[in-house]
Amino acid sequence: MDPRPAIIGERFKDIKRLIAVAGGKGGIGKSMIASTLALILSDLGYSVGLLDLDFCGPSTHAILGIDGVYPEEDKGIVPPQVHGIKFLSIVYYAGDNPSPLRGIDISNAVIELLAITRWGSLDFLIVDMPPGIGDATLDTVRLIKGVEFLVITTPSKVALETVGKTLRILKEMSIPIIGVIENMKMAESSYVREQIRKIDVPFGGEIAFDRELEDSVGNAVRLLETDFAQNLKQIVLSTPAFKPQDGG
Amino acid sequence: MHEWALAEGVISTALEVAEREGLSEITAIKIKMGELQQIDLEIFELALREIRQSQMSMVTNATAELEKEAAVLKCRVCGREWAFGDAPLADEERESIHFLPEIAHTYITCPGCKSPDFQFVKGRGVWIDSIVGR
């Protein structure tokens, strides 16, 4: 018998809202949105954690410029607070090295981190998910009770095609979907919005493609000043799900 | 001391089993301690004892038997098996594996073909072998 799942609920009991940022494929801005969302919520005065579950391609530490910190040990591991955010990533243990993990290993690593990490009390825990509906997503849904999904797509029909499958699975499992954000929008079009509404999922808003965004990677202060972050902040302020008192 | 977190998992699991099986008392828990996770047995035993006694529950008087299990790795590419203890690792690499055993794939490769694509045949970490109650 695996002793770890029994303790996971206890680890999340003082977190008001658990938001997994997901999408159907890579390269659509999930990690950028997850990282910036955590910064925005922290800037608004909420207590926020950020968990990077993309073990094979972790990037939130690079986006936020997090380096040289390490979790403390206290009856488990306690994530360090950086830029006002409690941050946990596999990079603490793997460093700059690749982590070539198969599904069973990803699943075991997810369970381990969920079981031993002591987040304490938080208004929001943002979880950056790997692309698609693999082991990390299935374990998140299975083990983190009350998790809600914020799903990202781009105007690309390829991204929309893959995100449709993610949304279908989440709906079939009755997992709450906060909404779908259309990221990297380059031209006026209602195509994505209409497609999302057709499958009866809330459309969360759109974020214009920001040519300056890349220059802010690694600098949390500059990231918050970008048009991208301002767009995302408007979505946060106009979406009821981003109020911690609405949660458990 | 993340041994404490895993010990909490053992006790919580025992309590779940007791409830599911309609037991009024847990009398014994047998736990396998996989070598890969490099758990400090003294700390783990202390944590188990303190958590049991702090709860005053049906698990308070249970005995805990810990059995060490050597870690064996097997290459998925060439089929070679080897012992974790044979892997040349720096202290910080061992410590990372202690926190997250799957990190072994980051620091260990097959001694035969150098592939990082291997499986843990046995001895990954903490595993409950049996729970006895009445």
Interface of A to B at Cβ within 8 Å reads: 1-7, 10, 55, 73-77, 90, 92-95, 97-102, 104-106, 108-109, 112-113, 115-116, 118
Q: What is the pLDDT of residue B2?
A: 85
State how far Cα A38 lies from the chain centre.
Answer: 9
**C-beta separation of A126 from A48 below 8 A:** yes
How many C-beta atoms surround the C-beta of residue A226 within 10 A? 18
Mutate to test the interface with B, among A70, A102, A112, A143 (most CBs of B within 10 A): A112
What integer is the mean pLDDT of B8-16?
A: 94
Burial A37-54 (b: 16+ CB within 10 A, else e): bbbbbbbeebbbbbbbbb
- Mean pLDDT (whole number) for B18-34: 94
Mean pLDDT of all residues belonging to chain A: 94
Q: How many CB pairs under 8 A join A and B?
A: 101
Report the CATH architecture of B3-133: 2-Layer Sandwich (3.30)
Determine whether the interchain pair A75/B101 forms a contact, defined as Cβ–Cβ distance below 8 Å: no
State which residue of chain A sits closest to B93, comparing Cα positions.
A93
CA distance B77 to chain A (A): 13
Task: State the pLDDT confidence band at A248, using cuts at 50, 70 and 90.
Answer: very low
pLDDT tens digits for range A125-171: 999 999 988 899 999 999 999 999 999 999 999 999 999 999 999 99
Cβ-defined contact of B102 to A108 (cutoff 8 Å): yes
Chain B closest CA to A140's CA: distance in Å?
Answer: 17
Among A38, A22, A247, smallest CA distance to A146 is for: A247
Domains of chain A: 5-239 (3.40.50.300)
